[in-house]
Structure formats: C-alpha cells, structure tokens
Amino acid sequence: MSSTATHTDEAQDLLGEFVLKAGKAFLTVRVADVFGEPTTIRITPGNLAVFYATEANNLGSGIRTLAGLHGDWRPISELADLALNWFRRVNVEGMRRAARKIGLEPRF
C-alpha cells in the first residue's frame, strides 16, 4: 500500500469520510461551499499558517477563508483545527516550518 493510501485511510478513520486523499503535506477534503454546493479543497500546512496568521483571530467578520473556501467562521475554524491536528500528527516539522515562514511561532 502506498504512503498516500495509508495516510488517506488513517485520515478517514481519524477525521471522517469527508477526507478524499491525505498525505504528509496535504489534505484533500469534500466540503460544502457558502451556497451549500459540494466542492473539494486541498489544505496544506502553508494554507493553515496563513489562516492562523490572518483569519483565526479576526473578530471583525463572521466570514473566514481557508484554502480558498469562504464561509461562516465556525465550520471554517473547525476544519482548520482538524487539519492542524492532522499535520501535527503526520508532519509536525513541516507545519512548524510553514508557520515560521510567515512569522508565527508555533507552540507545538
């Protein structure tokens, strides 16, 4: 079994069936867009670093963006937290590197 297939199986078990494909540097998930239409997005450690640097503490808007997906802050933040937990599990150094690259200091 390939590494991607193993990671995909593990991510589906841990996170849910909405995970289509997973690896050490990406998480491809099936979600609903702001109109409720199904869409697929690919989340990377870089996407998460940008989210936590610019979106996570934005109290001025109820809309947040993660990997090009715009929506209500609650489900977007929950998705970001799930993805962060995934990358901390399978690629903590890659997640730390992405965070430092944009000026964040990881606490994990």
What string of DSSP letters covers 48-103? HHHHHHHTTT-TT-SEEEETTEEEEHHHHHHHHHHHHHHHHHH-HHHHHHHHHHTT
pLDDT band at 59 (very low <50, low <70, confident <90, very high): confident
What is the helix (H) or strand (E) element at residue 46, kind and residue range?
helix 45-54
- Any idea which residue has 């996407």 for tokens? 47
CA dist 6 and 105 (Å) reads: 30
HSE, side-chain direction, 13 A CA sphere, residue 83: 31
- 86 contacts 14 by C-beta, under 8 angstroms: yes
The predicted pLDDT at position 61 comes to 78
The C-alpha angle with vertex 57 and arms to 21 and 85, in degrees rounded to 5, equals 30
pLDDT higher than threshold 70 for residue 98: yes
* Confidence band of 81 (pLDDT split at 50, 70, 90): very high
